[in-house]
Structure 1
Amino acid sequence: MSFTVIGSAALASLLVSVAALDNGVARLPVLGYNTWNAYQCNINQDLLVTTANLMKALGLLDVGYNYVNVDDCYAEKSRDADGFIVPDKIRFPDIKNMTDQIHALGFDSGWETCAGYPGSFQNELRDATTFQDWGFDYLKYDNCFIPADNVIRQGMLGKYQRMADALATLSQTSGKPPFVFSLCEWGQEQVWLWGKELGHSWRVTGDIAPKWSSLASIINFNSFITQATDFSGHNDMDMLQLGNGGLTFEEAKSHFTAWALMKSPLLIGTNLSAITHDILGILKNTEILAINQDSVVGKSISPFRWGKNPDWTSNSSFPAQYWSGPSQNGTVIMLLNTLSGPSTMSFNLTESPWIRAGRVYSVRDLWAHTDNGTAVGTFTVKNVPPHGVVALLLKDFGDA
């Protein structure tokens, strides 16, 4: 299970270099499940255990989805007389037994509250200790109902620093591994500039919705801050909305591909009991997941040409279309058709900074799972579906 922080974002194209938090956990983006998008507050411990069992039965655990996160609404509305958070007596009567069952299946677990339940401001170490005692490993920390800066005389970084310090202290005193710490601040305070000093991921925009306009807006925003992502620190583009209605199959593929190749955490937000074979196939594309989980190269893909718009144009409806990045096995290419009709997409290989001039490259299609010969000079894909995606892996094949 995990904790969550959520927010809205402002655009910045200049980034400062800060050291990533490297405390032995979450070097790679987290893969898992989050309850909020499918269930919101309609949750209980039986649902969480059932979801974990479904993840294992569907093969999601086998391909790396190893977190089960409860987002909110898990506690009583008031703390106890000693100031401790109390699990909801009806919905979570034995929360430690629940996390034990989930761990026994091979998962980790996390916690998240914006729904009006007790938050952790000024109770950071007490609550972190409680969460660890309950068996949790992942904290998504939201920015709801925090007193104003002119009251507490502390900026946004300072508010998150309090919990980061508490988690570090808890790990030192308990001897247990540190929590995975996910900052959910919605990007309002340019969290990508400082988030990696405190946590392992940070939300960069407001909440996602299951429609193309929401995906396009998030992709556009993230295209300007991809430099912030590397090992142990990831731009969090919010939960995967596959299978929740509102997206075509091609849009669902684009959603998953963009999130995975930009090294966002991949947290499923779908009712797994109703998941279709097609959506499950998207989530289990091991060739795409291998890029997200690359243990040698932690960088996100970035745009090398915008396409419809001049380069470096911010357009929430029509984000960049031509992307590339390095991986341990070659250069990753993503072609994103942001138009409402089929499109032929073509580019010169050396437009990507990761491609060398005068070389031949083998071409692997990461969705068709086919080897498509070699390319030199230019590459063209015809009839990319509306809002569809092409994902390729190019490997150096020799001198042209």
Structure 2
Amino acid sequence: MRHLHIRTPRRRVIGALAAGLLCTTGLAAPALAAPTAEPAAPTLADGLALTPPMGFNNWNSTHCRAEFNESMVEGIADLFVDKGLKDAGYQYVNLDDCWALPARDADGKLVPDPVRFPHGIKAVADYVHAKGLKLGIYTSAGTKTCNSAGFPGALGHEYSDAQQFADWGVDYLKYDNCNNQGVDAKLRYTTMRDALKATGRPIVYSICEWGENKPWEWASDVGHLWRTTGDISDSWGSMLSILKQNLPLSAHAGPGHWNDPDMLEVGNGGMTDTEYRTHFSMWSVMAAPLLIGSDLRKASDATFDVLGNKEVIAVDQDPLGKQGTVLSSEGGRWVVAKEMKDGSRAVALFNETGSPQHIATTARAAGLPEAGAYTLRDLWQHRSYNTAGTIAATVPAHGTVLVRVSAGGRWATRPPAVELGLDGSPLVQAGRTAALTSKVTDLGRTPATHLSVTLAGPAGWTVKAISPTTAGLLPTGRSLRTKWQVTAPGSTATGSYDLTLRARYRSLTGTRVESVLPLKATVVVAPPAGVSSLGDLPWLSTTNGWGPVERNTSNGESAAGDGRPITLGGVEFAKGLGVHAESAVEYYTGAACETVTADVGVDDEKGARGTVAFEIWADGTKVASTGVLTNAMPAQPVTADVSGAQVVRLVVTDGGDGIDSDHADWADAKLMC
């Protein structure tokens, strides 16, 4: 990609120099690399960062704009206190790039920008410290920082710069990787470690070399945390790609040495509330640093609700310091379990796909001992239940159910857990009646009593039950299935509409429980007969790693409509889809289509960069794939039999190396119906 004047999600370093590179900061799950059996070398043993650092960094929300200044930083510190974030565990208020002048002074010292920080960095540190918080700062392990303006880096000035930071009262250093002049990474980062230690001030040391040299294998006695990936951006595809790169590295994390998949994007506006809850849940299960990347002065109540969820934060901050491990990931249905110091397990049921999914595991699979029953705590609902051992939920698209499960305990005082679900995907043609079946299943050791279920649709829709909606007693493992007829008015436009499945029941002790599953019904139109270009057809949904999916052009840059002609290996195509990994485009085919064909590859606009893999899915089954393709390869033909499928999904993954200039084309993509 062409990145102009500001840092945006980093793309892979080419060659020995890291000059000008960036470090601020699909739906089918690929095979995960096996974690190394042995963790990295001994930790720094200085008592710092015994749990993952929590705080704020301005870059994701402000970049180098003028609003990044003394007033903003002090305002964030105020909000940490006023909004309860300090009480929730957030400590560090961190400055990113652009805080300094472009040149050192006559003595070779760094000079804070007098416009942004008229009272200097020490005054800001004093203000932050007075709030009971800590201050962080940024520089690069190179001759200049990563911003295009080229602020001074610390390469060759490590001891002087470290002493300045200590004299100012800095408590945290983020040390970037740009303009490193090809100097060995381990040498550069170790030199700054020694310089920080020489100051005598306790400073948490964040190594930000993007995972280029596998710092998880050598940096546990160099820094307290290390970036494992390129930069995150505020999109589902970016977050998903980074999540997948960080998950396999669980063996290397622990107290004082953490895998860092980059800062939080929660509240910046590029994802839905559901996706932000997934982001926060999965970062916590991975024992990742929690550094807020949104401008809290403009944050919504929903953003504060996510960032301030103390039960989820407790998973991240558990003193045992275990990173969660993947138990399963088939079909984009992820189960990740994290051992906790009290013997319980935090379990994330994460749905990568674009439709609701039943995701299940057991307490035994999560590592808990055999028990007659278990206590299950839902960390977003803030409710406790009992379970006979099954941990299951119907998880909304891109959603995560996060629970904490313990053996025994006071399970008998808790109501039974139930799972609400809907068979199939609720696809509705306007003016026609669709048949749906809901299911309520008792997962508890005790029965649910006085059970009733309702399904509600938008105003004007008709929703009618045609089988029983109540059960006097629902024993362990049994389900109440209810058939429904759902009709959208004939004038209903295509798109997604809210459905709400609701179950009300009682425990044996009389506790009343209401469980709600929000769902989406999608109003669709039948695909046209014959051969159609997918670039011209309406889609059900899209996700993309950078910018939007483009019709009949390449991905281009981040704005809609900025693509170029689709070009693969010098051949130009008039029709198709321009995407960027991680990407998924879904089409309704209504069991009326037979074949999808396309020529696929990495678009020529990225020169020699980009590695991707293409997949075609029919109703949750992979029916075609290419393996990893690079820009050096010509267009590859792909054909898939999608006969009988209600939904066809075109997926592009990152080829296993992160979203690195992964501009991918479904050239001349056609659907035959």
**Is 1:369 aligned to 2:401, yes or no?**
no
Match of 1:336 among 346, 350, 361: 350
Report what 2:146 is aligned to: 114
Name 1:396's counterpart in structure 2.
407
Measure, in 1, the Cα distance between the counterparts of 2:204 and 2:387.
Answer: 41
Question: Which of residues 262, 265, 284 in structure 2 aligns to 1:260?
Answer: 284
Q: Secondary structure at the match of 1:72?
A: coil
TM-score normalised to the size of structure 2? 0.53
The match for 2:185 is: 156
Equivalent residue number for residue 255 of structure 2: 231
C-alpha separation in 2, matches of 1:46 and 1:119: 25
Q: In the aligned structure 2, how far is the partner of 1:346 from the partner of 1:16?
A: 29
Of residues 377, 381, 389, the one that matches 2:393 is 381
Q: Which of 10, 31, 36 is matched with 1:14 structurally?
A: 36
Deviations 1:183-217 (A, max 9, x none): 00000101111121101100000110111111111
Question: In structure 1, what residue type is equivalent to 2:334?
Answer: Q
Report the residue type matching 1:158 in the other structure: L
Q: Distance in 2 between matches of 1:148 and 1:328?
A: 42
* Aligned twin of 1:147: 181
Residue aligned with 2:114, SS:
coil
**2 CA distance for matches of 1:7 and 1:76?**
19
Shift of 1:340: 0.2
Residue 121 of structure 1 aligns to a residue in which SS? Answer: coil
Amino acid at match of 1:130: Q
* Residues in 1 aligned to 2:399 and 2:44: alpha-carbon distance in whole angstroms: 35
The answer to whether the 8 A contact 2:58-2:94 is kept is yes
Residue 33 (1) aligns with residue 61 (2): no
Letter in 1 for 2:84: G
User: Separation in 1 of the partners of 2:137 and 2:168?
Assistant: 10
Q: Tell me, in whole angstroms, the C-alpha distance in 2 between the residues paired with 1:7 and 1:41.
A: 11
Deviation at 1:222, TM superposition (A): 1.1
- Equivalent residue, structure 2, for 1:218: 242
Contact preservation (8 Å) 2:126, 2:169: yes
Q: Which runs of 4+ in 1 moved over 3 A?
A: 10-13
Q: Report the CA distance shift for 1:185/1:15 in structure 2 as closer, same or farther (over 3 A).
A: farther
Q: State the shift of 1:264 in Å.
A: 0.7
Take 1:33 and 1:332, find their aligned partners in 2: how far apart are those partners? 25
Q: What runs of 5+ residues in structure 1 fail to find an aligned partner?
A: 150-154, 309-317
Q: What corresponds to 2:523 in structure 1?
A: none
| Structure with the larger strand share | 2
Counterpart for residue 92 of structure 1: 117
Counting aligned pairs with the same residue, the percent is 37
Choose between structure 1 and 2: higher helix proportion: 1
Q: Give 1:359 deviation, angstroms.
A: 4.6
1:103 aligned to which of 107, 129, 154? 129
* 1:274 and 2:291 matched: no
Hey, what's the Cα distance between the residues in 2 that align with 1:140 and 1:359?
48
Task: Return 83-92 or 119-128, whichever deviates more.
Answer: 83-92
Compute the RMSD of aligned alpha carbons. 2.0
Instruction: Tell me the CA shift for residue 6 of structure 1.
Output: 2.8
Letter in 2 for 1:101: Y
Q: Which deviations, in whole Å up to 9, do the C-alpha atoms of 1:245-279 show, x marking residues without a partner?
A: 12111100000011112111100011112111111
Q: Distance in 1 between matches of 2:101 and 2:215?
A: 31
C-alpha spacing 1:359/1:331, structure 2 compared with 1 (3 Å) = farther
Question: Which amino acid is the alignment partner of residue 161 of structure 2?
Answer: D
- TM norm structure 1: 0.89
Contact preservation (8 Å) 1:200, 1:232: yes
Structure number with bigger Rg: 2
Q: Which residue of 2 aligns with 1:311?
A: none
Letter in 2 for 1:57: D
Structure 2 distance, partners of 1:349, 1:373, is: 12
1:291 is the counterpart of 2:308: no
The separation in 1 between residues aligned to 2:124 and 2:284, in whole angstroms, is 29
Mapped to 2, the partners of 1:184 and 1:77 lie a distance apart of 21
Match of 2:80 in 1: 55
Q: Secondary structure at 1:195's aligned position in 2?
A: coil
- Report deviation, 1:7: 8.3
AA matched with 1:98: V
> Are residues 158 and 7 of structure 1, via their aligned partners in 2, closer, same or farther at CA, if it must alter by over 3 Å?
farther
Query: In structure 1, what is the Cα distance between the partners aligned to 2:261 and 2:303?
Result: 19
Matching residue's letter, 1:367? W
Give the deviation of 1:375 after TM superposition: 2.6
Matches within 5 A, 1:317-332: 318=332, 321-329=334-342, 330-332=344-346
Q: CA deviation at 1:343?
A: 1.0
Asked if the contact 1:362/1:372 (under 8 Å) is kept, the reply is: yes
Aligned 8 A contact 1:125 1:166 in 2: yes
Aligned partner of 1:74 among 99, 103, 116: 99
- Structure 2: which amino acid aligns with 1:133? D
Structure 1 SS opposite 2:254: coil
Would the aligned equivalents of 2:35 and 2:251 in 1 still touch at CA under 8 Å? Answer: no
Q: Does 1:138 align with 2:172?
A: yes
Per the TM alignment, residue 20 of structure 1 is displaced from its structure 2 partner at its CA by 1.6
1:167 paired to 2:196 = yes
- The letter of the residue matching 1:21 is L
Match of 1:304 in 2: 327
Deviation at 1:56, TM superposition (A): 1.5
Which has the higher relative contact order, 1 or 2, with Cα contacts under 8 A spaced 6 or more apart?
Answer: 1
